[in-house]
Amino acid sequence: MSKSYILGIDTSAYTTSVSIIDMNDNNIIYDSRKKLNVPKKSVGLRQQEAVFQHLGNIPEILNEFNINFNEIHIISVSSKPRNFEDSYMPVFMVGKNYGQVLSKSCDAKLIEYSHQEGHVSAALIDYYKNIKHPFLTIHISGGTTEFLLTKKVKKGFEFKILGGTKDITFGQLIDRLGVFMKFPFPSGKKMEEFINDKNNVIRMPKISGNTYINLSGIENFLKDKYISKKYTNEEIISSLFDYIKKCILHIIKEINKDYYFNSIVITGGVSSNNYLRYNIEKQLSKDFKIIFPNIGCSTDNALGNCFLPVMDRWFNEIKSN
């Protein structure tokens, strides 16, 4: 029996994701995601609650898949948040443990990657054969705001952190302000409906920092504007995302003073915002190749996990020769 499937598992802070591809042609067989339930008016989930939900979600998702599980050749899991020592979150142990059990049951090879590598892979599904190394990765999500010098290595990617935020992430800034303004959590998609370039009338504070910046002051600044009732939701939200855009451009400019790269990969949940996509590409496309994942792969997903072994194989068997 031919074993050609790769099964990917990602159990992140707010999404259970399981995908299957055929490694012979990279065809996507299944891509299933289940959002974790977050109580109303909450700005997040405790890890123990997220773990409990993942434990129930993975069997439900696997029962949807109409395949012969003995055809699975590789199981690729996110076993930790990032590629750094002591990087750990309990939620990723769920995917890792299910992966270990499935690998034994299916006689499949288990490969562990980081959640961050999965995000980079998801953005490079159509570009991994052509992108020049090193490149700059911007990982912007609820849990992470990092600017990383990135290069492909034998297994996954190698990262060097060059910038980011010192306090809260872009995703936290969006969600904290969004919930404060009575939007549901996560707030980004609903807030995006209020963005209007013509409404960016609030004079924002100067960006604090060079390659590393602070955001908590902006959170308080915009909350005060909302409380004052002098500005519309459109004006506050447009100003928020315009400021995030300027922060991203500011950090890229500072990093580029010391490091060379001609491609920029922008991934993570915040990268799904159409305003940021359009304006960042508009500003940078003359100087850099800008790569975003498709909208569906910007947020947490297991497709990136599925394609990581494919990229490893290509890098080791083809590019290295």
Please write the tens of the pLDDT for every residue from 79-97: 999 998 889 999 999 999 9
Question: pLDDT digit string (tens) for 227-253?
Answer: 999 999 999 999 999 999 999 999 999
Dihedral angle computed from the Cα positions of residues 264, 265, 271 and 277, in that order, rounded to the nearest 10 degrees: 50
Q: What is the DSSP letter of 270?
A: G
Joined tokens for residue 304: 């990136």
Q: What is the mean pLDDT of residues 18-32?
A: 97
List the one residue out of 185, 289, 286, 200 whose CA is nearest residue 245: 200
User: What value does the mean pLDDT take over residues 137-163?
Assistant: 97
Q: What is residue 85's predicted lDDT score, i.e. its pLDDT?
A: 85
Q: How far does Cα 111 stand from its chain's mean position?
A: 20
Query: How far apart are the C-alpha atoms of 22 and 128, rounded to whole Å?
Result: 17
For residue 1, is pLDDT > 70? no
Delineate the domains of the chain, giving CATH numbers in brackets. Answer: 5-125+296-319 (3.30.420.40), 162-292 (3.30.420.40)
Arithmetic mean of pLDDT over the chain = 95
DSSP state of 204: P
Q: Specify the pLDDT at position 166.
A: 95
pLDDT per position as a tens digit, 262-315 = 999 999 999 999 999 999 999 999 999 999 999 999 999 999 999 999 999 999
